[in-house]
Structure 1
């Protein structure tokens, strides 16, 4: 499955979370680092769902860019 990740630039690096999977968030010093951490955090969280016999949430969130003048 593919989940949308929201990444935000912060004063000290980057933060990330998954809108469709509450409770999964991470930080990193670089964009590449936060992406790597986020993937690991999501995998661990989804593994926990599996171990607990819980269906993971469906990836429903979409995104798009809107250009304004």
Structure 2
């Protein structure tokens, strides 16, 4: 599956979250590192849902840039 990921710069680090997987988050010192961490977090999150017998949410969010 392919999930949309939002990466935000904070003070001193970057954070990422997945809108379609509530609670699935990651932080790291760089964009590249947070991308790696969120991939691992997505796998871990989905594995946990499956182990608990819960449905894995479909990827429905879309991210894009809009010029103004």
Is there any run of 5+ residues in structure 2 with no aligned partner, and where?
Answer: none
Q: TM-score, normalised by structure 2?
A: 0.94
Moved over 3 A (4+): none
RMSD over aligned Cα atoms: 0.8
Q: TM-score, normalised by structure 1?
A: 0.92
**Structure 1 residues 1-69: aligned runs within 5 Å:** 1-68=1-68
Alignment deviations for residues 4-55 of structure 1 (CA, whole Å, 9 cap, x no partner): 0000011111000000000111100011110111011110010011111211
Of structures 1 and 2, the larger Rg is shown by 1
Aligned residues: 68
Q: Using the alignment, how far apart are the partners of 2:14 and 2:54 within structure 1? A: 30
